[in-house]
Amino acid sequence: MVRLRRFFHANPELAFNEFKTSKKIQSELKRLKIGLSVHAGTGVLGLLKGAKNHTACAIRSDMDALPIHEKTGLEFKSRVPGMMHACGHDVHMATVLGAAKILAALREKLKGSVKFIFQPAEEVPPGGAREMIKAGIMRSPPVKMIFGLHTDPNITTGKIGYRDGVLMSEVLDFNLTIKGRGGHGARPQDSIDSIVVASQLLNSLQTIVSRIIDPHYPAVLTIGKIEGGTARNVIAGEVRLRGTIRATDNRIVKKVRRALEEIAGGVSKSFGAGCVIEYVAGYPALRNNSEANRLLVETAMALFGKKSVVMLPEPSLGGEDFARYLQHAPGAMFRLGTRNRRLGAIYQWHSEKYNSDEKAMIFGSAILAGAVLQFLNSKG
């Protein structure tokens, strides 16, 4: 697993371009004599047939990296400038391949099949899960339960975190364009300055969560990117904003969306500008199944003791398209503790210094394999 993780980490690839990554995964599955097929361009499905093949349990990993320039100083740091595995997907892939090796060695004891799903493009909505599901990977044999994992730099190595119900929020991304009227910087009276409109709009949007949404419901509206203007003496005729809405309740997402439209339209109109909002398909909220969590927790405790499990009191406002699989089969995602201060594995996801303690993969692979074994044998 260490060898694989370091290969993936050194060779990051962005969404739907995980060609080298896909080839490596296919090679490992072939070596384990696990049947495979390729979907959604670079996605890989491994099928391990057990003693009975009427039903299946699945384990999913994501594959893509992020457009971040790495600053970890690791010996196996990214070889690709501007690309980095800064969200733990390198660890996910290696851990799931570790679970595949364990289960392949136990195939005669499996009362069902195991599907190993390696999907592209988790980081870019609408994501790769949707394409994999469209390709039929949840059928033939039908997946009756699915497990996933995500590294967590806030949980110490040797522990996993779990939560019944909502683990991660719904995501709705949007592109907002302000259309003013460009002109000479010395003659603002002849123009509609879209940069000024954007600056007023940014301040106004901050009131949505703070003054419109009930504080008992977690929600976020973030503008992460602004583009506009061409020169210091030119009034910009158009400004483009890129943002995201996050909430654990779909009703709150809808309320934030309505407020965004009303405020953006009103502020733009007050300056004589226009406003266009385009919504990018996001992710549903990730809701863990309590029975799937029970299998994970019981396995972790049996293998590593009661102190190896931590209940997560609050959901995260991060998004995950693992949620799409849970719309087709019950399942759960757990948080794999990867925090190790001595190794510098303390930075948050999407940081240029993000790193994971590789010892965590021992716990992740064993817990995944054990939960699958328990589920299939209970159904046999």
Which domain, by its residues, includes 221? 170-282
Boundary (domain end) residue, out of 260, 282, 304? 282
CA distance 115 to 132: 12
Whether residues 175 and 151 share a domain: the answer is no
pLDDT tens-digit readout, 107-140: 999 999 999 999 999 999 899 999 999 999 999 9
Where does the pLDDT of residue 153 fall: very low under 50, low under 70, confident under 90, or very high at 90 and above? very high
Whether residues 50 and 130 share a domain: the answer is yes
Q: Which of 375, 361, 172 is nearest to 280 (CA)?
A: 172
Please state the rounded mean pLDDT for residues 135-156: 97
Q: Is a pLDDT exceeding 80 seen at residue 55?
A: yes
The pLDDT of residue 379 is 77
- State the greatest distance between any 2 C-alpha atoms of the chain, in Å, as a whole number: 80
What amino acid is encoded at 294 in this protein?
A: R
Write down the catalytic residue from 122, 238, 320, 358: 358
Q: Is a pLDDT exceeding 70 seen at residue 380?
A: no
The pLDDT of residue 54 is 80
Where does the pLDDT of residue 52 fall: very low under 50, low under 70, confident under 90, or very high at 90 and above? confident
46 and 115 in contact (C-beta within 8 Å)? yes
Any bridge partners for residue 75, and if so which? none
How many of the other CB atoms lie within 10 Å of CB of 140?
11
The pLDDT of residue 311 is 98
pLDDT tens-digit readout, 168-223: 999 999 999 999 999 999 999 999 999 999 999 999 999 999 999 999 999 999 99
pLDDT tens-digit readout, 39-48: 999 999 999 9
Q: What is the mean pLDDT of the chain?
A: 97
44 and 60 in contact (C-beta within 8 Å)? no
Number of domains in the chain: 2
Write down the catalytic residue from 283, 320, 325, 354: 283
The pLDDT of residue 23 is 98
Whether residues 184 and 253 share a domain: the answer is yes
Please state the rounded mean pLDDT for residues 159-166: 98
Q: Is a pLDDT exceeding 70 seen at residue 156?
A: yes
Whether residues 102 and 250 share a domain: the answer is no
CA distance 116 to 95: 11
What secondary structure letter does DSSP report for 141?
A: T
Strands (E) in 216-268, as ranges, are 219-228, 234-235, 238-247
The pLDDT of residue 53 is 72
Strand pairing report for 113-119 and 165-168: unpaired
Lowest mean pLDDT across 51-55, 111-115, 245-249, 259-263? 51-55
Whichever domain contains 160, its CATH number is: 3.40.630.10
pLDDT tens-digit readout, 64-96: 999 999 999 999 999 999 999 999 999 999 999
262 in catalytic set: no
What percentage of the chain carries pLDDT values higher than 90?
Answer: 96
What percentage of the chain carries pLDDT values higher than 70?
Answer: 100
Whether residues 152 and 291 share a domain: the answer is yes
Boundary (domain end) residue, out of 240, 260, 282? 282
* Sheet arrangement for strand 219-228: 219-228, 238-247, 170-179, 274-283
Q: Which of 142, 45, 37, 47 is nearest to 104 (CA)?
A: 47
Boundary (domain end) residue, out of 282, 308, 334? 282
Where does the pLDDT of residue 51 fall: very low under 50, low under 70, confident under 90, or very high at 90 and above? confident
Whichever domain contains 174, its CATH number is: 3.30.70.360
Whether residues 369 and 304 share a domain: the answer is yes
Q: Is a pLDDT exceeding 80 seen at residue 266?
A: yes
Whether residues 33 and 132 share a domain: the answer is yes
Whether residues 34 and 120 share a domain: the answer is yes
What radius of gyration, in Å, describes the C-alpha atoms of the chain?
A: 23
Whether residues 131 and 62 share a domain: the answer is yes
Whether residues 140 and 191 share a domain: the answer is no
Q: Is a pLDDT exceeding 80 seen at residue 274?
A: yes
Whether residues 261 and 302 share a domain: the answer is no
283 in catalytic set: yes
Whether residues 62 and 180 share a domain: the answer is no
